[in-house]
Amino acid sequence: MDHITNVNDGLYMATTKAPVNIAVVKYWGKTNEDLIIPANDSLSLTLSTEHLCATTTVAVGKKFREDRIWLNGKEESIRSARLQNCLHEIRKRSQEALRMQNDLPDYTGWNVHMCSVNNFPTSAGLASSAAGYACLVQSLGILFHIEGDLSGIARQGSGSACRSMYGGFVAWLKGTNPDGSDSVAKQIASSDHWPQMRVIILVASDAKKDTSSSHGMMRTMETSTLALHRVENVVPQRMKDMTGAILNRDFNKFAEIAMKESNQLHAVCLDSFPPIHYMNSASWDVVTLVHRYNRFYGTNKLAYSFDAGPNAFLFLLEESLPEVLAVVEYAFPTTARGVDFFRGSPAVIGKLSDELKNFMNISPQQDAVKFAIITHVGDGPKPHEGPDAHLLDVHGYPK
C-alpha cells in the first residue's frame, strides 16, 4: 500500500509526477494504429521534472458512479479509445496482482476519478501527452498494486509516453509481437550517467501546430515513398550508433545523429502528401546558428532537435552553457526581455566574443523566440506525497 492515501475505506488515492522526454532517434509512424506499435525503435532523453512535468492524482471510490477525467482544470470525455485501452489494461493487470497477493483491498470494480495538470504552458506547443499518459499510468499502477513494467500500458495512451516511464536515456523498442506485448521502453543509461548534458528549449513565438502528430505520422506512412526506407534501412544503424554515443559520452557523435534524425523526421514529413511542415523561420534560424557555432569550433558542441512543432530543443554540455546562452540572447532579442526569458535552471550568461560573433554573422531575430527553458536529464515518474500533494479533495473531486 506504499504511496497510496487511504482517505477512508471507500476512497483511495495516489499522486505522481512524470517527466517529458525528447527523442534523439525519432518515432514517426505506426504499424498498428490501435495498439500504437511504432514502425521503428526510438531513443529519448527524459527531462527533469523540476522544470517540466505532469502531475496526476488518481482516486478510486466506492461511491463514484462512473470513470471521470479532468485535464488542466477541465473535464474531458472518458470515451477516448486510448484512455479506455489504458484503463482496461490496468484493471486486467490489477486482477493478476490481486491473485498474487490476496491481502490487498480489491477495488477493481470501483470507478476512478483522474485529474492531471502540466506545469508548463500548453500554448507553448510542448508535447504534453507523453508526460500526461506516463503520469496517469504510473498513478493507476500504484493505486492498483501493479508490479513490473508499465511502459507497455503507457504506450497505448500515447506512444512516446512509454519512454517517459523511465529516467535518463531511454529506448522504445518496437518489438516483434503482433499484440504489442514486447513494444516497451528500456533504460539505456540512468539520469546520472552523463551529468554534463544540458537541454535548452527555445519556445517559438508562433507555436501553433497545424497537423497533429497522430495525423501527421499516419499521412507520412500512407504517402511518403521515403519513410519506409528510413524505417527499415536507416533507423536500425542510428539506434546502434546513438546508443554507443551515449554510453561513451561522445557528444560530437551524439549531436550529429540527433541533428540528422531531426532533419530526417522533417524530411519524411515534407515527402508526405500533402506535405507536412512543422519548422518555421525561427526554427531555421536556430538550425543555421547551431551549424555555424559548430563550424567555429570544428566539432559539434551544440545540437538541435525539432518535434512536431517549431520549438527547438538544444543539447549541449554544461561547459558550453554560458556561451550558448549568450548566443541565444544575442540572436533572439525580445521586446519583453527580463527575468522571464530564461526559465528553468539558473541562467549564467557568458560572454559572446567578437571573434565568435563575427564568425557566426547572426542577424538577430526580434521576438522569434518567446522564452527559453534551461533543463537537464532527469528521473522517471515519482510518487508525489505530502499533505497538499493530491489534486483531488477528500471526496475525490478536483480541488
Site for a copy of itself, rule CB under 8 A:
225-226, 229-230, 233-234, 256, 259-260, 263-264, 266-268, 270-275, 277, 280-281, 284, 287, 291
- For residue 342, the cross-strand partners are 372
Length of the chain: 399
Taking the C-alpha atoms of residue 26 and residue 258, their distance in angstroms, rounded to an integer, is: 9
Provide the minimum distance between the beta carbon of 2 and a copy of itself in the complex, in angstroms, as a whole number.
47
Taking the C-alpha atoms of residue 152 and residue 155, their distance in angstroms, rounded to an integer, is: 5
Provide the minimum distance between the beta carbon of 39 and a copy of itself in the complex, in angstroms, as a whole number.
15
Judged by beta carbon, residue 150 or residue 316, the one nearer a copy of itself is: 316
Provide the minimum distance between the beta carbon of 269 and a copy of itself in the complex, in angstroms, as a whole number.
8
Judged by beta carbon, residue 98 or residue 287, the one nearer a copy of itself is: 287
Three-state secondary structure string covering 161-199: HHHHHCCCEEEECCCCCCCCCCCCEEEEECCCCCCCEEE
- For residue 316, the cross-strand partners are 198, 302
Q: Is the peptide bond between 19 and the residue preceding it cis, with omega within 30 degrees of 0?
A: no
Where b means 16+ CB within 10 Å and e means fewer, 69-78 reads bbbeeeeeee
Provide the minimum distance between the beta carbon of 201 and a copy of itself in the complex, in angstroms, as a whole number.
20
Taking the C-alpha atoms of residue 359 and residue 214, their distance in angstroms, rounded to an integer, is: 41
Provide the minimum distance between the beta carbon of 241 and a copy of itself in the complex, in angstroms, as a whole number.
12
Provide the minimum distance between the beta carbon of 268 and a copy of itself in the complex, in angstroms, as a whole number.
7
Q: What three-state secondary structure class fits 108?
A: coil
Judged by beta carbon, residue 83 or residue 276, the one nearer a copy of itself is: 276
Three-state secondary structure string covering 265-310: HHHHHHCCCCCCCCCCHHHHHHHHHHHHHHHHHCCCCEEEEECCCC
Provide the minimum distance between the beta carbon of 174 and a copy of itself in the complex, in angstroms, as a whole number.
19
Judged by beta carbon, residue 128 or residue 300, the one nearer a copy of itself is: 300
Provide the minimum distance between the beta carbon of 210 and a copy of itself in the complex, in angstroms, as a whole number.
9
Give all strands (DSSP E) within the chain, no chain letters: 5-8, 11-19, 21-25, 30-32, 37-38, 42-46, 53-61, 68-71, 74-76, 111-118, 169-172, 185-189, 197-204, 302-306, 312-317, 342-344, 369-376, 382-383
